[in-house]
Structures are given as C-alpha cells and as structure tokens.
Chains A and B, each alone.
Chain A
Amino acid sequence: MSRKLSTRAKLLLYGILLVLCVPFVFPTWWMATSSLKPAADIFAFPPKLFPDNPRLDAYRKVFELQPFGHQYFNSMYIAVVVTLGTLAVSSLAGYGFARIRFPGQNILFLVVLTGLLIPSEVTIVPLFQMFHDWGMIDTHWPLILVPVLGAPSVLATFIMRQFFIALPHELEEAARMDGLGRFAIYWRIALPLARPALSAVAIFTFLHSWNLYLEPIVYLSTPDMFTLPQALTQYVDAYGGPMWNVQLAAASLTALPVVAVFVFAQRQFVEGLAHTGLK
C-alpha cells in the first residue's frame, strides 16, 4: 500500500507513530535515568524525566555487592562460544542436508527437525539429571552444550539448509572439476556465499544465549558462575525487596552495549532477520 500521501495524512501518521514509540523507547530511557537517581528519589512524585543531580552510586554498588564483572564475562564468553559453535554445527549440517545425497537423508532430516517441535523447557528435568550424572551441575557446560547441539541449533540448521538449497549448482560443479573435496567446497565456496544467513543465525543465537534465564537458575548456584540475567535479580535488600536503583544500573550495563551495537548495525540486523531469518 505504498502510494503518495497528502500532507495531512503524513502528519497524522507521524503523530500515531510517535505515540506508538512511547512503550518501546520510554522503558529504556527510564531505566538509564533512574539508575542515576539516589535511592530516595527513585519513586519521587511528580516523576522526573531527567535526574536532578545524577550520581553513580548505584553503579558502584553493582560491583560491590556481586562479582558483576565476572558475571558479565561469563555471559559474554558463553554467548560467543555458543554463537561460534552453533554457526559451525548448523552450517555443516545445513550444507550436508542441502547439497550432499546420502541414503536415509530425509529420515535423518526429520529426526533433526523434531528439535523444532520440542521446547527446551520440556526436557529440562531429564537434562538436569543427565548433567548431574556427568558432574556438570554448577558449570557452564549445560549452557553451552545444549544450545550448540540440541534444540536451539536445529532452527539454525533449518535456516542454513534453506539457504544452501537455493545456491546454484554450477558453482560447485566448477569447484569439483578443479579437484576440490567436499569440505573445501563447503569452506571456500558455500560458506563465503552464506554470509547473510550466517549473520542472521549469529544474531539470534547470541541474543538467545544472552537472554537465557531458566537454564542458568536451574544449573548454577555459585555467584561467581552466574550469568547476567540471573545476577540482575540478586540485587535485593535484607527483606528480599529489590534495590531498584542498583538493579536498574545493572540492567543498564547489561542492555545498553547491545542496544548500541544494534543501533549502529541495525540494517544488517533487521534485514538479515527478515530476509534469511524465518521464511
């Protein structure tokens, strides 16, 4: 429905869009500004959009009360390892299912696709038992192994397969004539062409790992091992009530770097997800 709009219609449209923006943008603004307010002013009425005398006390407390730097590192390195692992596993499997013919291919693809049908919450009880038997409770192994090899990577494999199926055959034929083996074709020809699909997979894998909450609170019990989502909820006072300004400071530190990267690279982000993501 892209037609020329009258000026009045345009103004109306801008007005509607601006109003609609509020619930999307205001919480992030409120989070960042409230984290700079002293605890006493946090529920001050009337609410202040800009803090009167911004201070960083809450940010100091974030690091005093918990090994927050360590927890930040945990979340970061787990998300990076999971992303790289998923890229490797899903691009290999996606290529294999899309471009190589072997007996049992369709059945095996269906076996893998069951991962799409089974939310990881369904298997959390037996997985807990398994990792307990393997002595991996309170380690980061469950947070890495399950996403890279289990249900979450199946969607990535599916996307990679869809992408590789669409590649023209001629490219590979030429490479085979030149004597390249399968792995060399995958590595030197297919992967470089798959950059859009790979970046879409990388983005949603990173975010998925970064947001994981159920799994960390099930598997981890030592503050030094915690990941960020879990750490954020631990800033409570002696009565179990949240220390709001400290929670908001920690939340800002968690959210703002990713938002900054996103704003910087939003085109790749959004269009990558739209065009290769889930069609």
Chain B
Amino acid sequence: MKTLDRPRSTAATGPPEDGTRAAQPFWTSRRRDQLAGYLFIAPQLIGTVVFVLIPLGLVVWYSFHEWNVLAGTFHSVGTDNYHKLLDDPKLPGVLRATAYFSVGLVVLNLSLALALAVLLNQKLRGSVVFRTLFFSPVVVSLVAWTIVWGFLLQKNGGINAGLDLIGVHGPNWLRSEGTSMLSAVVVQCFKNVGLNMVLFLAALQGVPRELYEAATVDGAGRWRQFWRITVPLISPTILLTSIITVVGSLQVFAQIAVLTQGGPSGSTTVLVYYLYQQAFTFHHFGYGATLSVLLFLIVLVLTVIQWQMRKKWVFHES
C-alpha cells in the first residue's frame, strides 16, 4: 500500500510511517482509508458548518437582538422582534403576496412544463429545435430577462402596442395592483419553465410504450391514458419539480426588485424582498433576522408536507 497521495494528510496526522511496510499497529490501511474519507468531505463539511449551520444559529440568536452593523451597537431586546412580527400591519399583505406568487408560479409553471413536455414527446421532426427555444430563457441572465419584460410591460411597451394593433387597450401591467403580481409570475414562469420541461421530458421517455399499447387495446382514449398511466408513472418527477419550484418561488427577489420594487402599494412585496428592505434599506437587522426565521420555518414546513405527500400518492417503481 502506498500512502495517500495528498501530502497534507500525512503532514496533518503526525509522523508518517514508512509507506512500504504493510501492517502498522495504528495506521492500518482501513484507518488510512477512513482518514481519506474525512479529508475528502472536509471542505464541504466545514463549509456547511461555517456558511449554513452557524449562520442559521446566529439568525435565531440575532432575532432576539437589535443592532447596527455600521455603528457597532448591539443589544438584547428579548422577544420584541417577535411581537413586532405579530403586530406588523404589513406582514399579512407580504404573506399574501408571497403565497400568490408561489401558488401562481407552481400551478402555471408545472402545467405549462408538462404540456410542453407532452407536446415535444410526440414523434415530430424538429422537436429538438423547439426544445432548444423553450429552454433558451434559462440561460439568459435573470436580470437581463427581467429588464426586457419590464420594458415589454410598460404602459406604452411592446405588449400593449401589440394589443392596440388588435384593438384591445391593455392595462399598465406593472403599475396596477390587479396585474403587477400576475406579471411577475408570468415573467418568472417563462424564464425557468424550460428546466422543468426537460425533467418532465426525461421522465416521459422513461414510461414504457407497451403500457400505452395495452391501454389502446383496452379502448382507453388519450386523455384517460394521460391521467391513468402518464401522471402516476411520472409522479416522482412531479413531486421533485414541485419542491424545486416551491422553494425557488419563495426565494424570488431579483424579479421583484427590477420589475416593481415591491409596488404598487406593496402588492408585490414578497417575503424575501420585505426582509431585504427591513435589513438592508432600513437597517433593522434584528427584525430582518426575525423575518429570516419566519422564511426558514415556511420552507421547512412546506418541505415536510411535500415529503409526507410523497409517501401517500407517489408511485414507486420498486
């Protein structure tokens, strides 16, 4: 056995034994392999602890404090931030906006992604070209994509101009409370739906064709086949994409910041945007930390619910 190829492993573990001798009292080849295991995972493990777990602990700790990073003041305020959270007149609107965005995005994104995947899964020439086109916004820089849509959705922008040509007078999409959030959902949906589409497409291609043939023989129509065969068989992918999309939707920030800045009258102020405003615009870091705790709890609860659902209705191949 040779010693490990990583020089620092021997340096870090004290006097290296002569690598050519096989059986050592302590550094057996099994122990050495275990050490290699720890060294392999060390960067990721230390990184997770330093940049995820410690900050998570700190965010809870900070939520009981109020301080100013720039002025260097820091003092305990007990549960004040949580009372403030419960009494915050803006919070119900923020949570409503967040829920509107998440539900709207998940419904629109998953149904469009599945529809596109089913269309592209037909035997059709040129479907790769369409797949490329549907996927292309994924690689367009998020802020660039949002700027263009912001431009298109202006009162006198491209979309209303197009509508005018067919005699419809469009609203001021981003400046009316009724349409601002809808606009944000649509912009985000077209940006990333290609990702879910590709995952669905891969899942659809894994459905055995014999099942459809058998169903056709039994006289089941296409619509019935879709609900009775396709959907159950790709349910693991539906679950996966819905988790990714829900968690992603709760993180939405850039689109809101660029499109509407949370307006008009707070109608698009989602949780992360509100958190950012409180912490980094108004310098209420303690309250920002409290909002972070709330965001974490929401993500945690939703993930647990989705994993529970998985047990209930997801089809298992094995």
Residue A151 is within 8 A (CB to CB) of chain B in the complex:
yes
Residue A275 is within 8 A (CB to CB) of chain B in the complex:
yes
- For residue A175, give the distance in angstroms from its CB to the closest CB of chain B: 11
Is B33 a contact of A101 with CB atoms below 8 Å? Answer: yes
Identify which of B3, B39, B124, B289 contacts A5 (C-beta below 8 A): B124
Q: B38 contacts which chain A residues (CB < 8 A)? A: 96, 102
Is B34 a contact of A100 with CB atoms below 8 Å? Answer: yes
Is A121 a contact of B165 with CB atoms below 8 Å? Answer: no
Q: B45 contacts which chain A residues (CB < 8 A)? A: 93, 108, 111-112
CB under 8 Å from chain B, chain A span 7-22: 10, 13-14, 16-17, 20-21
Is A273 a contact of B198 with CB atoms below 8 Å? Answer: yes
Q: A151 contacts which chain B residues (CB < 8 A)? A: 48, 51-52
Q: In whole angstroms, how far apart are the Cα atoms of A119 and B258 in the complex?
A: 21
Q: How many B residues, CB 8 Å from partner? A: 112
CB under 8 Å from chain A, chain B span 37-73: 37-41, 43-56, 58-59, 62, 69
CB under 8 Å from chain B, chain A span 200-234: 207, 210-211, 213-214, 217-218, 228-230, 232-233
Nearest opposing residue in chain A for B286, CB measure: A125
- For residue A117, give the distance in angstroms from its CB to the closest CB of chain B: 6
Instruction: Take A119-B299, A154-B44 as given contacts and tell me if A1 and B144 are in contact as well, using a CB distance cutoff of 8 Å.
Output: no
Q: In whole angstroms, how far apart are the Cα atoms of A233 and B142 in the complex?
A: 12
Instruction: Take A24-B136, A214-B253, A266-B135 as given contacts and tell me if A154 and B141 are in contact as well, using a CB distance cutoff of 8 Å.
Output: no
Is A96 a contact of B161 with CB atoms below 8 Å? Answer: no
Identify which of B33, B124, B147, B202 contacts A247 (C-beta below 8 A): B147
**Interface of B, helix, strand, loop or mixed by DSSP:** helix
Identify which of B47, B119, B135 contacts A270 (C-beta below 8 A): B135
Nearest opposing residue in chain B for A133, CB measure: B69
- For residue A34, give the distance in angstroms from its CB to the closest CB of chain B: 7
Residue A39 is within 8 A (CB to CB) of chain B in the complex:
no
Identify which of A30, A92, A233, A251 contacts B41 (C-beta below 8 A): A92
Q: B148 contacts which chain A residues (CB < 8 A)? A: 27-28, 30-31, 248, 251
Nearest opposing residue in chain A for B240, CB measure: A278
Identify which of A97, A117, A149, A154 contacts B50 (C-beta below 8 A): A149
Identify which of A114, A122, A262 contacts B292 (C-beta below 8 A): A122
Is A213 a contact of B49 with CB atoms below 8 Å? Answer: no
**Interface of A, helix, strand, loop or mixed by DSSP:** helix
Is B56 a contact of A21 with CB atoms below 8 Å? Answer: no
Q: In whole angstroms, how far apart are the Cα atoms of A92 and B254 in the complex?
A: 32
- For residue A230, give the distance in angstroms from its CB to the closest CB of chain B: 8
Q: In whole angstroms, how far apart are the Cα atoms of A229 and B136 in the complex?
A: 18
Instruction: Take A47-B161, A89-B47, A119-B299 as given contacts and tell me if A97 and B134 are in contact as well, using a CB distance cutoff of 8 Å.
Output: no
22 sample A-B contacts, Cβ–Cβ < 8 Å, listed by A number? A17-B130, A24-B133, A30-B151, A31-B147, A93-B40, A105-B37, A112-B41, A118-B52, A125-B275, A126-B54, A126-B58, A129-B285, A145-B51, A150-B47, A179-B2, A181-B1, A183-B4, A183-B36, A213-B143, A242-B147, A242-B150, A251-B141
